Amino acid sequence: MKVIKWMLTLGILLPTYAFSQSGIERIKIDGFIGERINTCIEKRVKAQNVPELIHPFRHMTEGGWWQSEFFGKWMLGATASYRYTADPELLQIIKDAASDFMETQQLDGYIGNYKQEDRLTNWDIWGRKYSSLALLEYYRLTKDGKALKAVERLIDHLIKELEERNVNIAASGFYYGMASCSILEPVVYLYKETNKPRYLDFAKMIVGGIEQAGSSQLITKALQDIPVSHRSPFPNQWWSFENGQKAYEMMSCYEGLVELGKVLNEPLYLEAVQKTVDNILQEEINIAGSGAAFECWYEGKKKQTIPTYHTMETCVTFTWMQLCARLWRETANPMYMDEFERTMYNALMASMKRDGSQISKYSPLEGRRQPGEEQCGMHINCCNANGPRGFALIPDIAYQIKD
């Protein structure tokens, strides 16, 4: 086994390797970056009011909003932080949270906050995606079989519900179905953990829906070199199904396509992701390593000197870093680490308040950072929930092992 270390100021061209995260607990990052990581863990991750995040899952009264993403995002940031710190206090927080969260699972397998008649609409499946990812990561961390079983029941219920209600997942939710279809990633992970064919079949079905006319067609449009800012006509309503430029959800789907491509040994999936990332880099990512306005691609690189509202959402910043890291693991191309590093030092570091109490929703190139509003009637927002994952990703990437 050969150890490969990526120093934060150096990218080295390597052959294509299979990487794992083993060994992360053996390193500590010092200096400004290390201080920022530690502050985020103490002030954002460990200080979070977790029962508040679980509360909506107990009552299931929602029909439109996205409260169900917050717990999963927090849990993913917490487990990644624990892998780095090995902090026993944080581990206990995680275990208590997972136990309380799994108690909200319904007899039919549903985990979510939507009332019965509104399920499969709006952000419901998106929330189930984050619940699945969180419990799968908890299972990987602790090997608690209850967590894996909970994800199986959750996905089995979703498959059954889609069939019984005759709902095309790629025609549900927002942004040409990209929000709903991003559940592809945990479905692939579940298949890899269980080797049960129904999950692979479901993953293939999701991709089939993505590629249908009238859906996002993420593979076809990428291979046709259609820029991400021109993937659909300008929508009549911005926050709607008819907006195909939504950056965060688009990249989330491509993360699932990378994972499914590995399972199926289908190189076209990776090619589609790489072509999309190349276009994002060439036309969207600004000097600080992030992009998007009103959370959508808009040919932002050439417009970065023009005052623009709501730029550089932290969820976009983190997901861009994660996608670059994923492609580096697949290709060992140092360009992806160069971009990861640029985003980390600039956009990500600029997003967190000095005392760690807030992660801004937007961090524009001029003006001032914007603290996120409290969303969905809760004392949190998407970027405060998601931002810690970006800080925890740094040590995860800083140490890799070639199997």
Model pLDDT for residues 281-326, shown as the tens digit of each residue: 999 999 999 999 999 999 999 999 998 889 999 999 999 999 999 9
Give the mean model confidence (pLDDT) for residues 134-160. 98
CA separation for the pair 146, 105 (Å, rounded): 11
- With H, G, I as helix, E, B as strand and everything else as coil, classify residue 28: coil
- Indicate if the pLDDT at residue 402 is higher than 70: no
Beta 2-5 vs 360-362: how paired, if at all? unpaired
Label residue 25 by pLDDT band (50, 70, 90): low
- Indicate if the pLDDT at residue 336 is higher than 90: yes
Q: Which residue has the higher pLDDT, 177 or 5?
A: 177
Domain boundaries, the chain: 1-29+286-403, 46-167, 176-283
What pLDDT is stored for residue 27 in this prediction? Answer: 79
The DSSP annotation for 362-381 comes to E--SSS--EEPPPPTTSS--
Residue 28: both structure tokens together: 């500590």
Beta 399-402 vs 360-362: how paired, if at all? unpaired
Residue 91: both structure tokens together: 């581990």
Label residue 400 by pLDDT band (50, 70, 90): low
Give the mean model confidence (pLDDT) for residues 360-387. 92
Q: Would residue 123 be called left, alpha or beta, if left means φ above 0 and alpha means ψ between -120 and 50 degrees?
A: alpha
CA separation for the pair 219, 59 (Å, rounded): 38
Label residue 23 by pLDDT band (50, 70, 90): low
Does residue 148 contact residue 194 with C-beta atoms inside 8 Å?
A: yes
Percent of the chain with pLDDT over 90: 88
Does residue 398 contact residue 5 with C-beta atoms inside 8 Å?
A: yes
Q: Which residue has the higher pLDDT, 26 or 160?
A: 160
Give the mean model confidence (pLDDT) for residues 234-246. 95
